[in-house]
């Protein structure tokens, strides 16, 4: 079969689709990754077919916008620069592919063009959910844009809250562009975009396990749960002699990063440098943007543009990061304690779940300078945290989520029985 995988976002959003694509290719399928042109090199190094659904300039424009990391404005930046420009190219490419060969599409919920193609062509679509925050629910404790919604809040109140989010924010942002294209295609307008429309009526799969976020009664009934794909380019890169030398010449370092798309992190690395000096701790600073790194790093602190986490975290004392779902997953696999500094998007919800599992702490950026040293010391020295990290890391040993994900995708080649397709 031909598999079209549509990935939108940063490296943390694209990596899982590359991992799934490689697993599908090993099973003999013809795999094409559709993503922003910024990631062409990554996809081609993985020896997968690539098709751009957005210009690299748009992605770079988003990363240069400070509002990208604003709790309330960040999603608007991503929509304007990455998600919206990808709608029509995604739709057009899938339509042409379906006309020439039998296909299955696996797509991010934000890939509106893939959902449109499913409506107009009937192509089997698997919605792949990277993080729990993309599956809206009125049950359990939630944290949205830094606002905690307690578990005791009645379902009726939560329902009203989501309706307000749609009416005041989501549908106002997404509906004009989407419904304009729907009119052009002869489709009726839609609303409640994030609550209902983004989900494939045929099949969905979570790229996280049920012990990280359990299924909720109001999730779409066609969603199955799998696990973290954990692809991080380790298979595409050789080892680093410089990194290996640093890791072997002293105590385990603390690793600091705010992700691959963060261009406004000078303050973070300056504070981290001060704290590491005060604590007399070795550290590794990870960012592709070297201009964010202080120029006076001591020999005990090293900067690397990128290191696959599977080659580093199991030799680290702790990880300080932004709460991206891929980073959280790699830290859990490595059994390393986490200190999370959520800034925007799904990071607050991910951080809350990591803390609830007993794997680390979550702090706010405004408090970082005053509490980082004390919180890091407590994180590293707390035996219960280290023990819990070991327990959770053991869950990854026998897990084979890529096999489960591929089985589910391949199963979509079989037409559903009448009346059994989700709604």
What would the pLDDT profile of 177-220 be if each residue is shown by its tens digit?
999 999 999 999 999 999 999 999 999 999 999 999 999 999 99
pLDDT value at position 367?
Answer: 77
Q: Mean pLDDT over all residues of the chain?
A: 93
Answer for the pair 285, 302: CB distance below 8 angstroms, yes or no.
yes
Handedness of CA 177, 179, 182, 184 (dihedral sign): negative
What's the rounded Cα separation, in Å, for the pair 399 and 396? 5
User: Which DSSP symbol is given to 333?
Assistant: H
For 297, the token pair is: 């790093």
Average pLDDT, integer, range 370-380: 91
342: pLDDT strictly greater than 60: yes
Considering the chain, what percentage of its residues have pLDDT values greater than 90? 81
Dump pLDDT digits (tens) for 113-167: 999 999 999 999 999 999 999 999 988 877 777 777 877 888 888 889 889 888 8
Considering the chain, what percentage of its residues have pLDDT values greater than 70? 98
The whole model's pTM is what?
0.94
What confidence category does residue 416 fall into, taking pLDDT thresholds of 50, 70 and 90?
low
Give 35's strand partners.
Answer: 52
Answer for the pair 53, 35: CB distance below 8 angstroms, yes or no.
yes
Answer for the pair 254, 322: CB distance below 8 angstroms, yes or no.
no
- Beta strands, E only, 36-146: 49-52, 103-107, 125-129, 142-144
Give 347's strand partners.
Answer: none
For 250, the token pair is: 């002293």
What's the rounded Cα separation, in Å, for the pair 220 and 142? 18
Q: Which helix (H) or strand (E) holds 257?
A: strand 254-257
- Beta strands, E only, 7-141: 30-35, 49-52, 103-107, 125-129
Q: How far is CA 250 from CA 54, 88, 311, 317, in A?
A: 44, 52, 17, 12
Q: Give, rounded to a whole angstrom, the gap between the first and last alpha carbons of the chain.
A: 25
- Beta strands, E only, 29-132: 30-35, 49-52, 103-107, 125-129
Answer for the pair 286, 311: CB distance below 8 angstroms, yes or no.
no
Residue 29: partners with Cβ closer than 8 Å, 6 or more residues away? 1, 2, 3
Dump pLDDT digits (tens) for 3-24: 999 999 999 999 999 999 999 9
What's the rounded Cα separation, in Å, for the pair 128 and 35? 14
Q: Taking CA 307 as the corner, what is the angle to CA 301 and CA 313, rounded to the nearest 5 degrees?
A: 75
Strand pairing class (125-129; 103-107)? parallel
pLDDT value at position 360?
Answer: 96
Strand pairing class (318-321; 338-340)? parallel
For 53, the token pair is: 């659904």
For 191, the token pair is: 């609303």
Domains of the chain: 2-230+399-411 (3.40.50.2000), 237-394 (3.40.50.2000)
What's the rounded Cα separation, in Å, for the pair 61 and 68? 10
For 162, the token pair is: 């989501």
């Amino acid at each position: 079969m031909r598999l079209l995988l549509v990935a939108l976002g940063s490296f943390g959003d694209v990596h899982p689709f590359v991992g799934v694509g490689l697993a599908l290719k090993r099973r003999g399928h013809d795999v094409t990754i559709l993503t922003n042109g910024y990631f062409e090199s990554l996809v081609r190094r993985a020896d997968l077919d690539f098709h751009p659904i957005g210009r690299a300039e748009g992605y770079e424009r988003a990363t240069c916008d400070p509002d990208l990391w604003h709790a309330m404005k960040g999603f608007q930046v991503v929509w304007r620069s990455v998600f919206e420009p990808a709608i029509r190219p995604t739709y057009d490419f899938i339509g042409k592919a379906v006309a020439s060969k039998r296909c299955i599409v696996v797509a991010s919920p934000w890939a509106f063009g893939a959902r449109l193609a499913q409506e107009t062509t009937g192509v089997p679509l698997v919605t792949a959910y990277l993080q729990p925050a993309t599956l809206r629910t009125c049950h359990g404790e939630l944290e949205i844009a830094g606002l905690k919604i307690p578990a005791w809040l009645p379902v009726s109140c939560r329902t009203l809250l989501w309706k307000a989010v749609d009416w005041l924010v989501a549908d106002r942002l997404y509906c004009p562009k989407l419904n304009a294209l729907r009119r052009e295609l002869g489709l009726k307008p839609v609303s409640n975009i994030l609550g209902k429309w983004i989900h494939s009526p045929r099949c969905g799969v979570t790229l996280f396990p049920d012990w990280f976020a359990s299924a909720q009664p109001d999730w779409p009934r066609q969603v199955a749960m799998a696990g973290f794909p954990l692809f991080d380019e380790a298979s595409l890169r050789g080892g680093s002699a410089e990194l290996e030398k640093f890791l072997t010449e002293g105590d385990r370092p603390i690793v600091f990063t705010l992700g691959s798309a963060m261009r406004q992190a000078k303050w973070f690395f300056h504070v981290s440098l001060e704290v590491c000096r005060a604590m007399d701790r070795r550290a590794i600073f990870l960012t592709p943007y070297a201009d964010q790194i202080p120029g006076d790093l001591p020999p005990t602190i090293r900067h690397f543009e990128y290191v696959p986490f599977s080659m580093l975290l199991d030799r680290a004392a702790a990880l300080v990061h932004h709460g991206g779902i891929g980073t959280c997953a790699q830290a859990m696999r490595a059994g390393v304690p986490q200190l999370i500094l959520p800034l925007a998007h799904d990071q607050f919800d991910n951080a809350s779940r990591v803390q609830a599992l007993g794997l680390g702490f979550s702090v706010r950026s405004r408090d970082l300078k005053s509490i980082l040293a004390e919180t890091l010391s407590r994180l590293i020295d707390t035996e219960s945290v280290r023990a819990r990290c070991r327990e959770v890391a053991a869950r990854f040993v026998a897990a084979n989520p890529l096999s489960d994900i591929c089985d589910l995708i391949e199963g979509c080649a079989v037409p559903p029985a009448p009346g059994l397709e989700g709604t």
